[in-house]
Amino acid sequence: MQQGETVGEHIAHWRKVRGLTQHQLAARANVSRSMLAQVETGKASASTVWVGAIANALRVDASRLYGTGQEPEPLADVLPVLRRALAATDPLNPDSEPAPFDELRRLSAKVARWRIDARYRRIADVLPDLVDSLLVAGDRTGRPAYAMLTGAYRAANTVAHKFGYTDLSLTATERMEWAATRSGDPLLLATTHYVKAASMARIGASAHALRLLNRSMSDIEPLVEDDVTAAAVYSILHMRAGTIAAATGDADTSRGHLEAAERLAPQIGDRVVYGSPVGPANVRLYQLCAEVDLGEPGRAVDIAKGTRLPQGMAAERQAYFWVDAARAHLLNGDPDSAIGALLESRLAAPEHFRSSPAVKNAIRTTAQQQRRANDSLRSLANAAGIED
């Protein structure tokens, strides 16, 4: 494996270019100085939200910190697909006859499933035509079509984010919000804010993201007591706020949000609501991510070791769990256990594994800690598209 490519080394380079000490950069980014030091020295692997805060403070695009800049070869044609799908909110041919509504409903359900199972190629194959058909259907049938269109735009956001197209990810969330507003469903709109907040936080706009989440929680709070679906949406807003607060080093706010989600989880159960996994297991996944970003290896490893993923959990969520488990083991100075977790992540969602910058960073950090890459680590690097 090539060395000298970790996010931490890129951060240290740009920090010195900007003439900043670790204390100064940590203060600008509103992150823990201790966590910054551990990331720079290869003792920890940061989340995308944490890296976004650092990139914003350094006034560089996050892609520079990941060392990326080229489209992933197997899906290099994704970019024009996304651009076409997100180009406008007017249908390409408003006079065309859309596909039968039941057919659009079935395809929309498939796209939603492909998204949470990390089947990005399948999404790319159908997305532009689906969006255009739903735009026409929206003009004809109104709210139900706009609800499905929100899901199509969410799939576009997922693919854009996974392949590092930050601007298109932000555009997709704006399109989501536009369509969700027209759906007339306040819970769908709140779910859109859950997605949008993540996109905002990844470019360093964490304060704005937290305000959006808090406003959205206030909007739907009156529905929570009598509606378990509203409680599920309310819980994912808390989970998102918890991880964003953790990336800014605010442990009390982070744990407060995650404890609120944990209290709601038993009545919700492990399932998917509005395209998002919810329930007790999912709360633990967010707690794991938060504790790693807070620089708490003991808490993080305990969560990782004590979590049992429910049967049938979405492949994408499984992949996130195992990457965060790897980050926990790296923070704990245990690269061998990190390799085991990364192997599980690859098995859960191969397309996600190859495309994710967080995966690549975890592999490079593992190599830095292990010093001599073994066959398992080389295999992981090859699967993630990292050159030997």
The model's pLDDT over 300-342, given as tens digits with 9 standing for 90+, comes to 999 999 999 998 899 999 999 999 999 999 999 999 999 999 9
Q: What are φ and ψ of residue 371, in 5° steps?
A: 70, -45
How many of the other CB atoms lie within 10 Å of CB of 158?
22
Which regions of the chain does DSSP assign to beta strands (E)? 271-273, 276-278
Q: Residue 387: which region, alpha, beta or left (left: phi > 0; alpha: psi -120 to 50)? A: beta
What 300-307 contacts at long range (C-beta under 8 Å, 24+ apart), as own/partner pairs, is 300/324, 300/327, 300/328, 300/331, 300/332, 301/328, 301/329, 301/332, 303/328, 304/328, 304/329, 304/341, 307/281
Which residues make Cβ contacts (< 8 Å) with residue 301, sequence separation at least 6?
Answer: 328, 329, 332
Residue 82 pLDDT: 82
Q: What Å distances lie between residue 53 and 26, 49, 127, CA to CA?
A: 10, 6, 31
- The pLDDT tens digits for 198-225 are 999 998 899 999 999 999 999 999 999 9
Which residue is it, tokens 């996109």?
199
pLDDT given at position 70: 43
Sign for the pseudo-dihedral over CA of 275, 120, 133, 165:
positive
β partners of residue 278: 271
Residue ranges for the chain with pLDDT beneath 70 = 1-4, 68-77, 91-95, 98, 373, 387-388
Provide the 8-state DSSP code for 366.
H
pLDDT of residue 107: 96
Cβ-Cβ contacts under 8 Å for 144 (sequence gap 6 or more)? 101, 183
- Which residue from 163, 50, 176 is spatially nearest to 112, judged by alpha carbons? 176
Please tell me the predicted confidence (pLDDT) of residue 92: 63
Q: Give this prediction's pTM.
A: 0.89
Q: For residues 24 and 231, give the distance between their C-alpha atoms in angstroms, rounded to a whole number.
A: 40
pLDDT of residue 73: 43
The SS3 assignment for 215 reads helix
Q: Residue 159: which H helix or E strand, with range?
A: helix 143-162
Burial grade of 267 (CB within 10 A; 0-12, 13-18, 19 or more): exposed
